[in-house]
Structure 1
């Protein structure tokens, strides 16, 4: 297996694990300094706003299961199912763009609630 792909897969999985643990410090090490985040609610926000808006405390999810992960060149496509502490769940798709071994941007496409 391609060592770059393996390293990037570990980074992607590590980012979602850090999110579940509320570990911004771990996630910050995975992101470039000029990281941007986009979603239907956010248009290329920077790292600081990303952590402020997208990493609430306490962590709202009890589990996030990666159902699909494909990495091609500098891009990873992820579909995951997130379960909330209140029992609700939803699926999202995300596209993560790498620069070297760090994540330079994330684009989120919201899924439906279950």
Structure 2
């Protein structure tokens, strides 16, 4: 199981790095075909809508620092601090669910500005 956790941690970190760099193709390779995304603004949108709504160009943030990452079975819990290009910053929590070595869903819980 430790090997799965290490591999999945790399996938999570890779997904966030791809988001910062705007690398949709790299991110898409990490998601299942039936991927879904939920947040207070989005109710189980599919991967096409996810890339349309949540991956603006240019990328909206200059940095995302993962402050907490815990893998437990098929889930990863992540708390991160995102820094916007205008200098603002906020924290969010997310739960990512895996199916094999791909992310099948993400649930975002919005945080506060910091």
TM-score w.r.t. structure 1 length? Answer: 0.99
- The answer to whether the aligner puts 1:91 opposite 2:91 as a matched pair is yes
Alignment of structure 1 residues 1-114 onto 2, 5 Å = 2-114=2-114
- Quote the Cα distance in structure 2 between the aligned partners of 1:3 and 1:92: 27
Q: Deviations over 1:4-37 (max 9, x none)?
A: 0010000000000000000000000000000000
Gaps of 5+ in 1: none
Count of residues in correspondence between the two structures: 114
Q: Deviations over 1:50-84 (max 9, x none)?
A: 00000000011010000000000000000000000
Consecutive aligned runs of 4 or more in structure 1 exceeding 6 Å deviation: none
SS in 1 for 2:57: coil
TM-score w.r.t. structure 2 length? Answer: 0.99
- Quote the Cα distance in structure 1 between the aligned partners of 2:29 and 2:98: 13
CA RMSD of aligned residues (A): 0.8
Gaps of 5+ in 2: none
